[in-house]
Amino acid sequence: MIEQTIEQLITKVIEAGLIDARDRIYCRNQILGLLERDTFSSTDIADSDRSIPQLLHLLIDDAVARHVIGPALDERERLDAEIMNVFLSKPSEINQIFYRHYAEHPKHATHFFYHLSQVSNYIQTERIAKNIHYKASTDYGKVDITINLSKPEKDPEQIKRERQVKQDVQYPQCLLCIENEGYLGRTGHPARSNHRVIDLNLAGEDWYFQFSPYVYYNEHSIVFSKEHRPMVISKDTFKRLLAFVEQFPHYFIGSNADLPIVGGSILSHDHYQAGQYTFGMTEADDAFTFTLNHYPDIEASVLHWPMSVIRLRHTSQERLTDAASHILTAWRQYSDHEADLLAFTEETSHNTITPIARFRDQQYELDLVLRNNRTTDTHPDGLFHPHQDVHHIKKENIGLIEVMGLAVLPPRLKNELDQIKKYLTNQSSEIEAYHQEWAEQMKQNTPNLTVDNVEHVVEQALAKKFIKVLQDAGVFKLNAEGKIAFKRFLSTLNS
């Protein structure tokens, strides 16, 4: 049956357009070598309803059963990537194909590369399908709620292996470095044999483009610097973001902030996130407009959004870059004791920006989300960070994706929300203590809870909690005092 599984896998890859039928024998022999099988018996190639990831699982299970590899997660993933690498061209060839498509239309290029990344199992489509995802309407427009179930849990054997291995290898330097392309992997560092990236030039610098293995939205991609250097938000950041959307006008691109607490998970390597998706923040209305005296030709507004967002619009990249840099410079130094805002604690800087760029309606747009990472005795995790009353839902950093309106929530919530639904409909009395107050609020707000409507009620309540998370992270609150404080900062831009 393994012979037939190999043939079915090759057939699926041919059908997906990754290789030609002429490549079958070569690919078969390469896979036999990886599986340490010396012979092959001819077999009828029966049709299979199984997907490429499912066929891979069968081959890897066989390799484990025959002790070709051990059962640990890192060994399984390494063989998975090696098998799929058999079907992939070299990076230079993929780049050539990408830019041939680009010459027709940028969308054709990204579509080609996205398809390749999915078929090659670099994008973990089967695991991503496990994620829980829905949209919800709020006072600020739509938000996306995702419970992340895609990343596999490490079994005890894998955890033991990682503890035992002395991690003194500095190659690749981090998970984003270009040296990951084709890297075999090791314990504690994921296999990347089937990883390919696209060369980019952004504002005169060498950068690279890839898709995220665990996409959270359509064509979720990562754009990273050739140089391994820390994340920095600067005038050059705005130049690069706008240069990217000039090259790929159907994509947005944004950067996490460059400070702990308000930044993303990897601050050691300068990188951005991009994709073809419309987030709630993209469609947010203007709360009010204002004028930048030094840049009167630029359309400037503050968004009606739970976080503090300035939107700039213009046809000129250079004008937008200058205006955004002016705002960043002013914000880095800005303090307002009435609004609990301090730019510095002694020499430690607290203010930064999460920027997002797009090209829309024949204009460039820059969204500048004002961030502050100061901690206090009352809020040791961060003053402008999810507060204790929402930690039962989310207490992790609010990065670029969440800022734009997509909640990435921890996997524990899947079972805990099922518990809450049973509790609300009197099918169970068990519930996590940290959800108790929230559940009682739902009962009070919806006295006619039933099995038929409980899922909708919980989903809407979860979306409201996420809005509260974003409000906590907003530096200027959404009340009369907050609006006045926001305008105090804007007035300094014209002084």
Kindly state the greatest CA–CA separation across the chain.
81
* DSSP-assigned letter for residue 383: T
pLDDT given for residue 164 in this prediction: 64
pLDDT given for residue 45 in this prediction: 74
Question: pLDDT per residue over 419-472, tens digit each?
Answer: 999 999 999 989 999 999 999 999 999 988 999 999 999 999 999 999 999 999
pLDDT given for residue 222 in this prediction: 98
pLDDT given for residue 495 in this prediction: 84
pLDDT given for residue 158 in this prediction: 58
Distance CA 369, CA 359 (A): 18
CA angle 65/68/71 to nearest 5° reads 60
pLDDT given for residue 169 in this prediction: 77
pLDDT given for residue 306 in this prediction: 97
One digit per residue, the tens of pLDDT, for the chain of length 495 reads 899 999 999 999 999 999 999 999 999 999 999 999 999 987 777 778 999 999 999 999 999 999 999 999 999 999 999 999 999 999 999 999 999 999 999 999 999 999 999 999 999 999 999 999 999 999 999 999 999 998 766 556 656 666 666 667 789 999 999 999 999 999 889 999 999 999 999 999 999 999 999 999 999 999 999 999 999 999 999 999 999 999 999 999 999 999 999 987 789 999 999 999 999 999 999 999 999 999 999 999 999 999 999 999 999 999 999 999 999 999 999 999 999 999 999 999 999 999 999 999 999 999 999 999 999 999 999 999 999 999 999 988 899 999 999 999 999 999 999 999 999 999 998 999 999 999 999 999 998 899 999 999 999 999 999 999 999 999 999 899 999 999 999 999 998
| Helices vs. strands in the chain: H and E counts, helices first | 15, 15
pLDDT given for residue 44 in this prediction: 75
pLDDT given for residue 60 in this prediction: 97
Candidates 45, 47, 117, 55; CA nearest to 80 is 55
Candidates 177, 151, 188, 156; CA nearest to 75 is 188
Question: pLDDT per residue over 370-401, tens digit each?
Answer: 999 999 999 999 999 999 999 999 988 899 99
* DSSP-assigned letter for residue 447: T
- Helix/strand/coil for 86: coil
Q: What is the 3-state secondary structure of 140-209?
A: CEEEEEEECCCCCCCCHHHHHHHHHCCCCCCCCCCCCCHHHCCCCCECCECCCCCCCCEEEEECCEEEEE
Distance CA 335, CA 342 (A): 5
Q: 254 pairs with which residues across the strands?
A: 273, 356
Distance CA 233, CA 255 (A): 8
pLDDT given for residue 7 in this prediction: 95
Candidates 206, 200, 16; CA nearest to 98 is 200
Domain ranges of the chain: 2-93+111-127
**Which residues lie closer than 8 Å to 377 by C-beta, 6 or more apart?**
none
Say how many residues make up the chain.
495
Distance CA 398, CA 385 (A): 7
CA angle 16/19/25 to nearest 5° reads 125
Distance CA 408, CA 148 (A): 6
In terms of phi and psi (left: phi > 0; alpha: psi -120 to 50; beta: otherwise), the region of 67 is: left
